Structure 1
Amino acid sequence: MRSSCRGAGRETTAMAQEESVRLVPVNGAVTTLDGLRMVQVTRPALTVACRSSLYDHCPAQAPDLRERVRRQTHACSRCSLGRLWSAVRARLPILDWLPEYRVCHVLLGDVIAGVTVGVMHIPQGLGYAMLAGLPPITGLYMSFFPVLVYVLMGTSRHVSIGTFAVSCMMMEKLVLELSTRDSTLTTTPDPAGENGTLVLAPDGSPHSVVTSVNTTAASTAAVSPSPQEVAAVLALVVGIWQVLMGVLQMGQVFLVLLSHMIISAFTTSIAFLVLTSQLKNVLGIPVSRYSGPFKTVHTYRDLCLGLPAANPVVVVVSVVCIIALVVNNEILKPRMRKVSRIPVPMELLVVVVGTAVSDLLHLEERHHVTVVGHVPTGLPFPSAPRMELLPSVLVDGFLIALISYTSTFSIAKIFAQRQGYTVDAVQELYAQGMSNAFGSFFSCGPVAASMSRSLIQEAAGGVNQLTTAFSCAFVALVLSVIGPYFRTLPHCVLSAVILVSLKGLFLQVKDLAKLWSSSRLDAAIWLATFVVSVVVGLDYGLLAGLAASAVVLLLRSQRPPALHLGHVPFTDLYLDLDTYHKVVKVPGVKIFQFGGPLHFGNASYFHSSLFSVTGLDLAAAKPAATTTVPLMDTRQSEEDTSSQDNGDGDIMNQDEVNEGMNQASTQEADKDSSSSQPPSSRDLTLATVGSQAVKSSTCSTSPVCRWLVLDLSFVSFVDTTGASLLRQLHRDLQTAGVTLCLASASDRVVDALERCSVLEEISRDLVFHSTHDAVTTITSLDPYHSPATVPDL
């Protein structure tokens, strides 16, 4: 064993000499031969108390509740026209950007972009409304009325508000459940065919679309709500939730709760459900609508059973439309982008051509192809939503409000960062909430931003919210004049447009592969959200994602990394002894680093890992506390080194070490029983050579441990349970003759320990600025001298 320790001593000394000869001065700076600059800092070793006194630490005092209420009351009482105008401008950003609008420079681009986006609104509005179980004309209403309010209140210059696949798919469940509770639906036809609103029959069949006029409140109260009435009250609830979140300043809070994994999995599951819901239209198969858990399984069962009855004409039309759209998106659009910033409106062309072919060939009468049917002209009259439905949609409305806002604000942030401006999270809540609330009075469902339309708006040259106003004008023109011409538009054409637009959502499956390679726990969150959303339901899927995130967060917080640190020679670095082979131990000192917050959930793990990782044994340390290594002045370390060197490379021989230990035992035996109290750092200066260190892998037995340093650099907070654990740990170590020191604790952690009275037992003189400050104070370690190795005793 002695020979192995001698060899270790030679190895460590040679390593230190090798490190020292690598330092060469370059232009006045010390640089290694491989080009890495060396940093040399000279400062006193600091405790937290000394640091606070030396650098005049003045922590900011947060006002208490009474003071905050007093300030808010005082601010509200100082009402003036100036403050009122500032409040109005804060909620109506158009008052800021419209006076600065450069007509000559950007008007033409905004008009072109607005018309281009308006063209996109037509097929997407018709298709997504059908996806939500609403009459197709409702999608055009959703592309007009709510968007007007967003022009006034929105802060994003490039997002396109309107129909959105995710919100429409979530709305479809409520429309199906609430609008079919009563099997009888009384309708009154409109002979003139004008100024009416379309209502789907309760069986949901495409041929059961009828027309009804606005009836009085007395007549509508006796019948079950129509799909549009359900959508309207849902939009109102979504708007109320979003405005309430804005009042409570909770925009960023919900963005944190809904992580990227949850949003990616949730929207991908919606894409799968949208595909499922549109297959019946693409294949021409009559499929019953299901609600509740496992509805996807029942739908695919009916699709498989109905395949022999598929309509070949519908299949051909669907395939032709899908091929045309895919060729445009994958081949024509990238090439046209090099020539013109205005994309080819292939979606609108497919809708127009499909409508014309259906009308010329009489597909509805001859081949039983389902078509849109009557589309009323003009704008609907405002009407109040049916408030008795409000309790039935509160929970789903909150989920839709949360998902719609998160998706829209994420898109807004992408374009804001790309174009160099900022978006206000709170104002976006107000803008979207008021947009939904306003649209609810015109039979609109909840709206959100679409990434595809927003990309087109940016590419076509739109620079601010006025682009959205021009798209509204184009939609209004369609509603006033062109609407009836879409009567023969086949449903399969709209379904083809919807399916092709889902490509971006389906590509999010790549996120799962990335997560699987980087973190299996994150991949588990993605899978849990996706599977539960598809199999059970969207609301349960979102809750499952949040629950999985909470469990993963708890697991990571409950078992953070726990490391036994050693010293890197010639530096102030302390690294893991198990993974860095040039790191050496400091004799008599255990350094333990905990890589997470210390709270009730991981207090037991902290305690067990502390002793298992460091190898500290209090039962063995207590009897060893009666033995002290003889004191040695570190200023004489170089002389001691030369006197102890026996000439053949050994640091010190075994007889000298045993003699010193025997002398220490004799001195300690003369002391009284009070020796169990922790000695000062001066009393525990180890008799080692120069700056003391022990290579962890070379010696089987370490010197007596008299100090335990807790590196708290990664501990973000400590709760009362964690503070109690530190207090009890200090007492146990004190009984065993080991002194506990805290290092690298943040001001927040120090304040928490003070409030929990921990620092009344652990002196503030033992709370150090950094781990190196603690070790330097304890052992009088000189970082600029080569560390020697203490041989095995």
Structure 2
Amino acid sequence: MNNTDIFPQIKIERPLYQKDQLREQLRYEDTKKNLLSHCCGEKLRFKRIITKAVPSIRWLGNYDWKGDATSDLIAGITCAIMHIPQGMAYALLGNVPPVVGIYMAVFPVLVYVIFGTSRHNSMGTFSIACLMTGKAVLEHSDPAYFKDLDVLEASSNTTDVSTGYTPIQVATTVTFVAAVVQLAMYFLRLGAASALLSDMLVNAFTAGAAVQVVSTQIKDLLGISLPRYKGYFALVYTVIDIIKNLEKANHVAILISVIAILILCINNEILKPIVAKRTSIPIPIELVAVVSGTLISQYFFLSENYGIKAIGDIPTGLPEPALPPLSLFKDVFLDGTATAIVSYVTSLSLAMMWAQKVDYEVDANQELLAMGASNIVGSLFSCMPVCASLSRSMIQLVVGGKTQLVSIIASVILVGILLWLGPFFEPLPRCVLASVIVVSLKGMLMQVKDIKKFWKLSKLDAAVWIMTFFTVVLVGMDVGLLVGVAMSLISIFIFSFKPYTCLLGSVPHTDLYLDITKYKGAKEIDGMKLFHYSGGLNFATKNIFRDELYKLVDLNPQKEHINRKKLEATQKKLENSTKTFNEKKLVKLSGKINMTLKCVIMDFSSLSYIDPSGVSMLQNVIESFRKLNVSFYIAGCSDRVYDTMVKCDLVGNGSEAIKIFPSIHDAVECVSFILGIHSAVEDGISRIT
């Protein structure tokens, strides 16, 4: 059935407009408002401002205590247990006492719960942020304070110069600097930079980060001791050391790891789907594994009899609040800034992934406020800069956590552990914890298979994925993110240099104008060239625009001007010559001249942006066409583009000012009337007057 049988023919009757006439008649007004009027507007009421700045008010008010509380409770208990060994281990990377890692899971996390928008980010210690902080601690702390701490390679990285600062003081100053930087980014609204983190980039980063995390757990799965490598290519060195030390593997640790992994996999792949059909309460298998491992290790003396590594001593007590020494602010500013950016990008990339999986939104700018406020409080309670942990966040999601109430529960439990129950978990085998982490990363590791889909969709995007993934795996997470963002920018830059251009033709008896190379029913109008340009027109693309224009309209004004001068000279020579002149040469010169083109109409309906360089180029092109008596018009440009043209004096009231029309149909009808060209649409639609 034809569309004409369904829809009636529409007759369009309205005045013909130019852009300035349309603005004047319809009372165009710039809708930009100053800050005062914006804040005083009805839309930004006090309640809305508060709920936006403190998202916890909104989700706590709508919290499903019957449906979600049990899942959050189980997830909170499991994450609390995860915080203990991870916090202690990553604190050593920061060259501070192990208990600092536990502090980081309490004080700053409670602040993040209030201001954060991610429901599943488990904030606290993270290897990269702790390593970057540890570098500053080694450089600026007094070497005397390292004598009683378990700091790897401290003697080779510190000097004998006494600074008078403790490792805690340096670490908290770095945290304070990171907080200041993140809060400054929040007030400058730099959270929009998260747009650079495409789904492709986040997918590659998280898959590579999962490989990194698994590599750090292999030594615990095998029960071997390896040096901890700081900096880049850590995974490469770790794999080499694992291969060298395979003969030293603890067979009992391997057996425990295999049993734990099998039980966890059977639960996740078989039991979990069955239980999910009967009840919404998941089996807390990770919690069961941790508690069971602790009890078995304690009563069977696995550490003493079989050399099984346990998580070790957990000290008790809470830190006293203290201001960081601001005299160190200048010395650690670069370290704090770098740590702030890396921790924010890492946390945001994870938050975006969880939000995509569970279908909710994350406010990139609000995350800056949440992390900045968290680090301000953390700097008062002996904490390093906080960051989301890939493994803990994944477990929080897998176990069934729904909201940041998980973090509150985990923090309360950790306070109790710090005060009373710490020694109970000291016998927990590291291989059990490593098994839980590795199994929880299965889904993230399987993202590697997505490369086939990405390759089919776009070779360039697939290249971004591959480079990001392998850089994260082989070099480091921070460098991987930098490479991914850089390649994403390069891909955008490349696409911006490939604007879509074509010539439009009129669909007979309509006001539609379509690409003549794709729509065979669209016909060109005699004497006119309708040039369509899609993209931005700036200093970088102006030459591409000009070349595409000359190519499609089949007229280069410079060459045309030269050919016309040659033709005039030849004709004059022929008139004054008494000899027989070679007429073939005259015919050849005449063939190079385009005498049929009378008008060029630029369809700028898809022009997203134009800068002064683009306007200047456009002005030169228009002048060059006018010298050949070819009229030049613009149609369909946005108000943003039009305003730029006005500011650059391309549009004005003089006789030489270019005419701009609100639609291409207005331009075609006007030019047809002025030049006396028969319009392909005038037979089907009444002439617009």
For residue 202 of structure 1, what is the aligned residue in structure 2? Answer: 152
Q: Does 1:772 align with 2:665?
A: yes
| Count of residues in correspondence between the two structures | 632
For residue 126 of structure 1, what is the aligned residue in structure 2? Answer: 84
User: How big is each residue's C-alpha offset from its partner over 1:741-792, in whole Å with a ceiling of 9 and x where there is no partner?
Assistant: 11111111111111111124785662111122212222252526379xxxxx
User: How big is each residue's C-alpha offset from its partner over 1:294-337, in whole Å with a ceiling of 9 and x where there is no partner?
Assistant: 33322222222222332222222222222222222222222222
Are the structure 2 counterparts of residues 744 and 357 from structure 1 closer, same or farther at C-alpha, using a change threshold of 3 Å? Answer: same
- Checking the alignment, whether the CA contact within 8 Å between 2:169 and 2:325 is kept in structure 1 is yes
- Checking the alignment, whether the CA contact within 8 Å between 1:110 and 1:467 is kept in structure 2 is no
For residue 430 of structure 2, what is the aligned residue in structure 1? Answer: 491
Alignment equivalent of 2:235, drawn from 277, 296, 301: 296
For residue 185 of structure 2, what is the aligned residue in structure 1? Answer: 245
Alignment equivalent of 1:611, drawn from 540, 550, 553: 550
Alignment equivalent of 1:170, drawn from 118, 121, 128: 128
For residue 327 of structure 1, what is the aligned residue in structure 2? Answer: 266
- Checking the alignment, whether the CA contact within 8 Å between 1:239 and 1:401 is kept in structure 2 is no
Are the structure 2 counterparts of residues 592 and 201 from structure 1 closer, same or farther at C-alpha, using a change threshold of 3 Å? Answer: same
Are the structure 2 counterparts of residues 721 and 576 from structure 1 closer, same or farther at C-alpha, using a change threshold of 3 Å? Answer: same
- 503-512 vs 353-362, greater mean Cα deviation: 503-512
Alignment of 1:150-161 (within 5 A): 150-154=112-116, 158-159=119-120, 161=122
- Checking the alignment, whether the CA contact within 8 Å between 2:309 and 2:430 is kept in structure 1 is yes
Alignment equivalent of 2:341, drawn from 392, 396, 399: 399
TM-score with structure 2 length normalisation?
0.80
Alignment of 1:690-701 (within 5 A): none
- Checking the alignment, whether the CA contact within 8 Å between 1:131 and 1:168 is kept in structure 2 is no
Partner Cα separation in structure 1 for residue 431 and residue 144 of structure 2: 27
Alignment equivalent of 1:267, drawn from 206, 212, 215: 206
Alignment equivalent of 1:433, drawn from 372, 380, 384: 372
- Checking the alignment, whether the CA contact within 8 Å between 1:47 and 1:764 is kept in structure 2 is no
For residue 116 of structure 1, what is the aligned residue in structure 2? Answer: 74
- Checking the alignment, whether the CA contact within 8 Å between 1:533 and 1:541 is kept in structure 2 is yes
Partner Cα separation in structure 2 for residue 84 and residue 559 of structure 1: 46
User: How big is each residue's C-alpha offset from its partner over 1:684-730, in whole Å with a ceiling of 9 and x where there is no partner?
Assistant: xxxxxxxxxxxxxxxxx998111111111111111111111111001
TM-score with structure 1 length normalisation?
0.70
Q: Secondary structure at the match of 2:126?
A: helix
Partner Cα separation in structure 2 for residue 249 and residue 41 of structure 1: 46
Q: Secondary structure at the match of 1:740?
A: strand
Partner Cα separation in structure 2 for residue 381 and residue 566 of structure 1: 77
Partner Cα separation in structure 1 for residue 294 and residue 169 of structure 2: 28
- Checking the alignment, whether the CA contact within 8 Å between 2:261 and 2:439 is kept in structure 1 is yes
Partner Cα separation in structure 2 for residue 491 and residue 37 of structure 1: 75
Q: Does 1:548 align with 2:441?
A: no
Are the structure 2 counterparts of residues 772 and 476 from structure 1 closer, same or farther at C-alpha, using a change threshold of 3 Å? Answer: same
**Aligned residues with identical type, % of pairs:** 31
- 176-185 vs 365-374, greater mean Cα deviation: 176-185
Q: Secondary structure at the match of 1:767?
A: strand
For residue 143 of structure 1, what is the aligned residue in structure 2? Answer: 105
Are the structure 2 counterparts of residues 386 and 493 from structure 1 closer, same or farther at C-alpha, using a change threshold of 3 Å? Answer: farther
- Checking the alignment, whether the CA contact within 8 Å between 1:254 and 1:406 is kept in structure 2 is no
For residue 626 of structure 2, what is the aligned residue in structure 1? Answer: 734
Are the structure 2 counterparts of residues 229 and 330 from structure 1 closer, same or farther at C-alpha, using a change threshold of 3 Å? Answer: farther
- Checking the alignment, whether the CA contact within 8 Å between 2:142 and 2:162 is kept in structure 1 is no
Alignment of 1:74-85 (within 5 A): none
Alignment equivalent of 2:19, drawn from 37, 48, 60: 48
Are the structure 2 counterparts of residues 359 and 382 from structure 1 closer, same or farther at C-alpha, using a change threshold of 3 Å? Answer: same
Q: Does 1:716 align with 2:608?
A: yes
The Cα shift of 1:367 comes to 2.7
For residue 80 of structure 1, what is the aligned residue in structure 2? Answer: none
- The AA in structure 2 aligned to 1:202 is L
For residue 681 of structure 2, what is the aligned residue in structure 1? Answer: 783
Partner Cα separation in structure 2 for residue 295 and residue 609 of structure 1: 50
For residue 676 of structure 2, what is the aligned residue in structure 1? Answer: none
Partner Cα separation in structure 1 for residue 147 and residue 600 of structure 2: 84
- Checking the alignment, whether the CA contact within 8 Å between 1:131 and 1:277 is kept in structure 2 is no
The Cα shift of 1:585 comes to 1.4
Which ranges of structure 1 fall in alignment gaps of 5 or more residues?
A: 1-21, 24-30, 76-82, 190-198, 205-218, 627-700, 788-793
User: How big is each residue's C-alpha offset from its partner over 1:268-293, in whole Å with a ceiling of 9 and x where there is no partner?
Assistant: 22212112222222223333333334
The Cα shift of 1:533 comes to 2.8
The Cα shift of 1:416 comes to 9.4
User: How big is each residue's C-alpha offset from its partner over 1:230-289, in whole Å with a ceiling of 9 and x where there is no partner?
Assistant: 7655543433322222222322x2222333333222222221211222222222333333
For residue 441 of structure 2, what is the aligned residue in structure 1? Answer: 502
Q: Secondary structure at the match of 1:292?
A: coil
For residue 4 of structure 2, what is the aligned residue in structure 1? Answer: 32
Query: Over alpha carbons, which structure has the higher Rg?
Result: 1
Are the structure 2 counterparts of residues 116 and 440 from structure 1 closer, same or farther at C-alpha, using a change threshold of 3 Å? Answer: farther
User: How big is each residue's C-alpha offset from its partner over 1:52-100, in whole Å with a ceiling of 9 and x where there is no partner?
Assistant: 233222334665xxxx6xx59x99xxxxxxx9999888755667887xx
Alignment of 1:317-716 (within 5 A): 317-385=256-324, 388=328, 390-391=332-333, 393-407=335-349, 410=352, 418=360, 426-445=365-384, 446-448=386-388, 451-452=393-394, 455=397, 468-618=407-557, 704-716=596-608
Q: Secondary structure at the match of 1:597?
A: strand
The Cα shift of 1:117 comes to 2.4
Which ranges of structure 2 fall in alignment gaps of 5 or more residues?
A: 155-160, 566-592, 674-678
- Checking the alignment, whether the CA contact within 8 Å between 1:268 and 1:506 is kept in structure 2 is yes
Partner Cα separation in structure 1 for residue 89 and residue 450 of structure 2: 26
Partner Cα separation in structure 2 for residue 308 and residue 234 of structure 1: 41
The Cα shift of 1:361 comes to 3.1
Are the structure 2 counterparts of residues 122 and 726 from structure 1 closer, same or farther at C-alpha, using a change threshold of 3 Å? Answer: same
Partner Cα separation in structure 2 for residue 385 and residue 756 of structure 1: 53
Are the structure 2 counterparts of residues 86 and 131 from structure 1 closer, same or farther at C-alpha, using a change threshold of 3 Å? Answer: same
Partner Cα separation in structure 2 for residue 570 and residue 353 of structure 1: 80
Q: Secondary structure at the match of 1:149?
A: helix
Are the structure 2 counterparts of residues 514 and 399 from structure 1 closer, same or farther at C-alpha, using a change threshold of 3 Å? Answer: farther
- Checking the alignment, whether the CA contact within 8 Å between 1:124 and 1:497 is kept in structure 2 is no
- Checking the alignment, whether the CA contact within 8 Å between 1:532 and 1:544 is kept in structure 2 is yes
Partner Cα separation in structure 2 for residue 271 and residue 97 of structure 1: 30
Partner Cα separation in structure 2 for residue 231 and residue 571 of structure 1: 71
Partner Cα separation in structure 2 for residue 619 and residue 574 of structure 1: 29
